[in-house]
């Protein structure tokens, strides 16, 4: 329970099937926000700080791993997880401290370029936004990708794909490898971010910022 009303947030997941890290993000958010709220309440006369004081979301994630036990601290350390996990924790810290998002407006993704993949056919590009629209280069209405064997450019057409909140840009196998052993369903690379922490202009996602 996070307050006197007895409200409890329950996170359901299969911890044996790889959901431990995602549950950890949820727990980190709860601990970080609750610590900030209770910390403000403790500033009132006669109040005391909660025993578990979390000043950064990454601290909450570490506390969760210690509570899980076993090999969690080694196998699920932030250094071993995709970059989007650590980025999400930093975004959470900023939101709690600022009590707002840097960019409250939605963004429109007009085009995307993928470079440096050793493929013989242009990959498939999928864009998924939690609060916005979705787009796929496989859709019949999508303009064909411009592909020169090393770089692919995707024009999303019209007003682009609206990104509102969390979103993911996923690159998958296409062409002759599309249906080989289900390879077309497995992502080659994935960029996960939030429109709330981006601004107008080009987004240059480097290798260290991409989940692979």
Helices (H), the chain: 20-42, 57-68, 72-75, 83-98
Which residues, other chains included, contact 175 with Cβ-Cβ below 8 Å and sequence gap of 6+?
A: 119, 120, 121, 122
> Tokens 């099937």 appear where?
17
pLDDT tens column, 82-132: 999 999 999 999 988 888 889 999 999 999 999 887 778 888 999 998 877
SS3 state at 61: helix
Element (H, E) at 153: strand 151-155
Of 71, 63, 187, residue with least CA distance to 123 = 187
Lowest mean pLDDT segment, chosen from 9-23, 91-105, 109-123, 156-170: 9-23
pTM of the model: 0.78
Write the pLDDT tens digit of every residue in 53-69: 788 999 989 988 888 88
């Amino acid at each position: 329970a996070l307050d006197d009303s007895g409200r409890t947030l329950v996170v359901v997941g299969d911890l044996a099937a790889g959901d431990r890290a995602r549950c950890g993000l949820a727990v980190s958010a709860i601990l970080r926000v609750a610590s900030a709220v209770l910390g403000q309440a403790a500033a009132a006369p006669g109040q005391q700080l909660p025993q578990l004081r979390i000043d950064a979301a990454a601290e909450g994630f570490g506390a969760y791993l210690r509570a899980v036990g076993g090999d969690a601290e080694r196998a699920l350390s932030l250094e071993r997880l995709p970059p989007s996990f650590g980025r999400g924790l930093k975004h959470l810290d900023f939101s709690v401290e600022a009590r707002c998002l840097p960019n409250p407006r939605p963004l429109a993704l007009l085009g995307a370029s993928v470079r440096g993949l050793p493929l013989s056919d242009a990959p498939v590009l999928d864009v998924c936004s939690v609060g916005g629209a979705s787009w796929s280069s496989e859709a019949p209405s999508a303009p064909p990708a411009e592909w020169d064997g090393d770089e692919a450019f995707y024009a999303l057409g019209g007003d682009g794909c609206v990104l509102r909140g969390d979103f993911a840009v996923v690159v998958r196998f296409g062409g002759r490898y599309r249906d080989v052993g289900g390879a077309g369903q497995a992502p080659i690379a994935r960029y996960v971010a939030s429109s709330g922490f981006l601004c107008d202009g080009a987004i240059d996602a480097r290798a260290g910022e991409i989940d692979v």
